[in-house]
Amino acid sequence: MDEAQRKKLEATTRYDPSEVEGRIFSEWMEGGYFHPEAEGTAEENFSVAIPPPNVTGALHMGHALNGSMQDALVRMNRMRGRNSLWILGTDHAGIATQSVVEKELRKEGKSRHDLGREAFVERVWEWRAEYGSRIVEQYKRLGASCDYERERFTLDEGYVKAVHRVFKKLFDKGYIYRDNYMVNWDPGSHSAISDLEVENREVEDALYSIDYPVEDSDQVLTVATVRPETMLADTAVAVNPDDERYAELVGKHCVLPLVGRRVPIIADDHVDVEFGTGALKITPGHDPNDFEIGRKHGLQEIGVIGPDGRMTSDAGEFAGLTAAEAQKAVVEALRAEGRLRAEEPYVHSVPFSHRSGERIEPLISLQWFCRMDELARPAIEVVERDEVNITPPQWKRVYLDWMEEIRPWCISRQLWWGHRIPVWYCDACQETIVAEAAPERCGTCGGELRQEEDVLDTWFSSAIWPFATLGWPDDTPELRAFYPTSFLTTAREILFLWVARMIMTGLEFPGAVPFRDVYVHSVIQARDGRRMSKSLGTGIDPLEEIDVHGADALRFGLLAMSSTQDVRFSDAKVEQGRDLANKLWNASRLILLNAAAVEPAPRPTCVEDRWILSRLERTIASVTEKLETYDFAHAVQEAYSFFWRDLCDWYLEIVKPRLYDGEEEVSATLLYALERVLGLLHPTMPFVSEEIWSYHPAQRGHLAVHAFPAADESLFDDAAEADVEGGIGLTQRLRAWRDLAGVPAGATLPAVIDGVEPPGFVSRLSRFEFDGVGAEPVASIGPVRVLDSDQLDGAAVAERLEKRREELRAEVERGERKLGNEGFVAKAPVEVVEEERGKLERYRNELAELS
């Protein structure tokens, strides 16, 4: 510490994160600490792949929490000397990014179709060049020690190569195929989306009952539906095979009202006898269940609603109407024909697009699919065998259940922004070519080729993130040094969407699990318990919290509030973090400005020294263990409590006289403790710990690459802990007695010791002189006999005394009752009974003294 530093330390009584954080971060970057060489093996090294945020994204609390946890472990391992890589990058986020740019175009009065595909995609790249680094910069504000030199993007050149390789391989294995199939059509993004991008919401609709006349009879079959407009595409009516009411109708036909088409009456056990009339209209073209039934029975598939959400020409007179308009018109027409039997309100759950928010239109369309069964099997096994460990453990079951039920994945999207599917068609000879790189001409007939228009689901590329970012499919040094990665932290909502798929592709391609541990972190809710969401306006901006309280405060707060359950955002916890940073700063000022010039080392000379060293080392052991097991909430709270309570409230107060005296032993011990506390806290509070470290006499380089403390068990000392904790307890009782007896805060009271001498600090911290003479004892607190003096108010003392007697009587009564219970004495463990006896005796003795 030079003179300028000393002056600054003396003058700065308040830690100011805004002055520190930018400067410290630049120093880290200049040091190149976050950019490890690709050396060694994945076994020796430590690596984490960040869940890539959307390139359109802004840092939200989920990122901030997840980032704080990853950074804590990455920093801890880096400090331990392991070659540590935290790979960072962004996801091209097909629909989200395309929408942002389309919105921009709309402001200019244009659509993407005005530009054409090529120009539009060019435009999205421009957008990305301008705005795509926002979230990366925000991770820097958080202090995340990612390797910013190895930043990746899911559409960059090498990544495209990896995606094509995966597509080709899966196609060659027969997993990827093209089919006309029922998909979730999102009219908002004009694309198919996967099951996982659909959310069901409760909606109040009307349930219509419609009479379908049975051919050559005066009977009618009444069907119930919430979507009467789809009756135009009905190709059957189904009843349950066991339903006796309709047994003789099966095999006959109905005649569709309005349409006039003959449709068969079929039997299928999907039909619920109890529901409505027990007759179900079958619309294979517009309902997922009906689609399955239709395929099973070989029914015709008619589509009356098009991709634009409007009725097609097959809808006859209703063609051109939107589905909603058609619904009204069809209902009116049915009413007019007297076919509408009933209409009643009906609440049911309806699929909506998670992407655009619009109601999903189930449609049959030509899409690319990936069969999942073969990929899922090994991914199930590695989790069953705990080769991939999921914490908290209840998520293992959830993962396995979902994987057992996995269905084909619709991987094509009707978008322009994304990985264009590497498939080419020859119109001349109808050949389909799947290739990793664009072929020149058709290999069969030499004809012109036309590339598939669709792009891949964004999650298709995210699924290979842990190895594609390391250079796969090439055999790169990075891949050898950092794959498999060490662990993954994630929000539970992407357990299926992303985590499961990474495990599947990891096993299929590099041939090893992508990570050994998956930690599913808690969800931080808004202050009022609702979800944090942009649309609800309930989001809390982490950047604002960083601006106001500092990154360390936010990191501490988020970790502290993130127990395994879901938890509401707590300003108090962030403020607790802010206060801790300030307390660290000020306690460090006390030590650094007063310590003698000595080497930091444990140099205990008395019981208090042995006590604090024991507590320090035990805290290091415990906090470390909690960090390693992803118990971040308890880790930070325990570090807080050791530092604030034990070190500041007690030890620093105890040793101040020795410190001011320039005593070398206590200086060495304090500098040692400070060095270790800074190291211990650095993974969770990197900025303030790094800043303070720059003033520490042992500082030879940055704390970010200084050794993380390993607990020194030789300093554990049960006897010293017991002695000092006894002294602390006595001090607290003495202080409480003074307060309740109305003694002025500054007064020193005379007393004598009758019994075991307490540790030396008790007298000073409680402001009692233990060598008082002459006066009568008026109170007894442990071994301390308080002597009468003119600073005491007799009435208050008497009142205090009586209160204590009351407490003791209650304690004695409690003890007697417990020990009088024969069952307790006979069945409880001996040590528990002995402890009770000891306590009872102490309370009886004290009560006797006071009477």
Partner RNA sequence: GGGCGCGUAGCUCAGUGGGAGAGCGCUCGCUUCACACGCGAGAGGUCGCUGGUUCGAAACCAGCCGUGCCCACCA
Q: Which of residues 812-851 bind RNA (CB under 7 A)?
A: 814-815, 821, 823-824, 826-829, 832, 839, 843
Based on the shown chain and the rule CB under 7 A, indicate whether residue 683 belongs to the binding site for RNA: no
Q: Which stretch binds RNA (CB under 7 A): 88-96, 147-155, 266-274, 674-682?
A: 266-274
Amino acid at 184: N
Q: How far is the CB of 815 from RNA (least distance, A)?
A: 7
Q: How far is the CB of 41 from RNA (least distance, A)?
A: 35
Q: How far is the CB of 287 from RNA (least distance, A)?
A: 7
User: Using the rule CB under 7 A, which residue among 7, 35, 348, 450 binds RNA?
Assistant: 348
Number of residues that bind RNA (CB under 7 A): 89
Tell me the C-alpha distance between 593 and 12, whole Å: 12
CB-based contacts of 708, cutoff 8 Å, min separation 6: 76, 79, 80, 624, 679, 680, 682, 683
Residue 39 or 661: the one with the smaller Cβ distance to RNA is 661
Amino acid at 446: G
**Contact indicator for 318, 334 with CB cutoff of 8 Å:** no
Burial class (CB in 10 A: 0-12, 13-18, 19+), 307: middle
Based on the shown chain and the rule CB under 7 A, indicate whether residue 18 belongs to the binding site for RNA: no
CB-based contacts of 558, cutoff 8 Å, min separation 6: 61, 64, 65, 68, 524, 573, 574
- 360 phi/psi in degrees, rounded to 5: -70, 135
Label residues 269-305 b or e (16+ Cβ within 10 Å = b). eebeeeebbbbbbbbbbbbebbbebbeebebebbbbb
User: Using the rule CB under 7 A, which residue among 568, 713, 798, 841 binds RNA?
Assistant: 568
Amino acid at 357: G
Residue 775 or 833: the one with the smaller Cβ distance to RNA is 833
Site for RNA in 405-424 (CB under 7 A): 405
User: Using the rule CB under 7 A, which residue among 653, 713, 754, 834 binds RNA?
Assistant: 653
Residue 405 or 790: the one with the smaller Cβ distance to RNA is 405
Q: How far is the CB of 99 from RNA (least distance, A)?
A: 21
CB-based contacts of 621, cutoff 8 Å, min separation 6: 711, 713
| Token code pair at residue 70 | 């990853």
Site for RNA in 361-400 (CB under 7 A): 394, 397-398
Q: How far is the CB of 320 from RNA (least distance, A)?
A: 24
Based on the shown chain and the rule CB under 7 A, indicate whether residue 641 belongs to the binding site for RNA: yes
Q: How far is the CB of 832 from RNA (least distance, A)?
A: 5
Residue 172 or 649: the one with the smaller Cβ distance to RNA is 649
User: Using the rule CB under 7 A, which residue among 134, 161, 441, 634 binds RNA?
Assistant: 634
**Contact indicator for 254, 262 with CB cutoff of 8 Å:** yes
Site for RNA in 267-296 (CB under 7 A): 270-276, 278, 280-281, 287-289
Based on the shown chain and the rule CB under 7 A, indicate whether residue 570 belongs to the binding site for RNA: yes
Longest dimension (CA), the chain: 122
User: Using the rule CB under 7 A, which residue among 111, 200, 432, 444 binds RNA?
Assistant: 200
User: Using the rule CB under 7 A, which residue among 252, 359, 516, 656 binds RNA?
Assistant: 656
Q: How far is the CB of 62 from RNA (least distance, A)?
A: 13
Tell me the C-alpha distance between 515 and 486, whole Å: 5
- What angle, 0 to 180 degrees and rounded to 10, lies between the N-to-C axes of helices 542-549 and 551-561? 120
Tell me the C-alpha distance between 67 and 748, whole Å: 52
Based on the shown chain and the rule CB under 7 A, indicate whether residue 725 belongs to the binding site for RNA: no
Residue 166 or 249: the one with the smaller Cβ distance to RNA is 249
The strand ranges marked E within 420-533 are: 423-426, 432-434, 449-451, 455-456, 485-490, 515-520, 524-525
Tell me the C-alpha distance between 762 and 766, whole Å: 6
The strand ranges marked E within 775-843 are: 777-781, 784-787
Based on the shown chain and the rule CB under 7 A, indicate whether residue 349 belongs to the binding site for RNA: yes
My answer on whether omega of the bond before 52 falls inside 30° of 0, hence cis, is no
The strand ranges marked E within 572-616 are: none
Residue 127 or 644: the one with the smaller Cβ distance to RNA is 644
H/E stretch holding 812:
helix 794-820
Q: How far is the CB of 580 from RNA (least distance, A)?
A: 8
Residue 452 or 575: the one with the smaller Cβ distance to RNA is 575
Q: Which stretch binds RNA (CB under 7 A): 61-69, 383-391, 474-482, 651-659?
A: 651-659
Q: How far is the CB of 688 from RNA (least distance, A)?
A: 11
Q: How far is the CB of 582 from RNA (least distance, A)?
A: 3
Q: Which stretch binds RNA (CB under 7 A): 25-33, 305-313, 641-649, 719-727?
A: 641-649
Site for RNA in 202-241 (CB under 7 A): 223-227
Tell me the C-alpha distance between 514 and 25, whole Å: 30
DSSP 311: B
**Contact indicator for 284, 291 with CB cutoff of 8 Å:** yes
Q: How far is the CB of 624 from RNA (least distance, A)?
A: 18
Q: Which stretch binds RNA (CB under 7 A): 307-315, 430-438, 439-447, 737-745?
A: 737-745
Q: How far is the CB of 681 from RNA (least distance, A)?
A: 15
Tell me the C-alpha distance between 129 and 267, whole Å: 59
User: Using the rule CB under 7 A, which residue among 50, 567, 677, 711 binds RNA?
Assistant: 567
Based on the shown chain and the rule CB under 7 A, indicate whether residue 5 belongs to the binding site for RNA: no
Phi-psi region of 755 (alpha: psi -120 to 50; beta: other; left: phi over 0): left
CB-based contacts of 318, cutoff 8 Å, min separation 6: 229, 232, 304, 311, 326, 329, 330
Site string for RNA, 791-810 (x = CB under 7 A): -------------------x
> Three-class SS of residue 676?
helix
Residue 128 or 800: the one with the smaller Cβ distance to RNA is 800
CB-based contacts of 14, cutoff 8 Å, min separation 6: 582, 585
Site for RNA in 738-767 (CB under 7 A): 739-740, 745
Site for RNA in 469-528 (CB under 7 A): 492-493, 496, 525
Residue with token string 């179900």: 280
Q: Which stretch binds RNA (CB under 7 A): 61-69, 296-304, 538-546, 587-595?
A: 587-595
Site for RNA in 169-198 (CB under 7 A): 195-196
Q: How far is the CB of 3 from RNA (least distance, A)?
A: 19
Tell me the C-alpha distance between 784 and 734, whole Å: 9
Tell me the C-alpha distance between 191 and 110, whole Å: 20
Q: How far is the CB of 273 from RNA (least distance, A)?
A: 7
Residue 39 or 807: the one with the smaller Cβ distance to RNA is 807
Site for RNA in 518-547 (CB under 7 A): 525, 529, 531
Amino acid at 204: E
Residue 290 or 478: the one with the smaller Cβ distance to RNA is 290
Residue 74 or 376: the one with the smaller Cβ distance to RNA is 376
Residue 47 or 194: the one with the smaller Cβ distance to RNA is 194
Residue 252 or 814: the one with the smaller Cβ distance to RNA is 814
Based on the shown chain and the rule CB under 7 A, indicate whether residue 161 belongs to the binding site for RNA: no
Based on the shown chain and the rule CB under 7 A, indicate whether residue 575 belongs to the binding site for RNA: yes
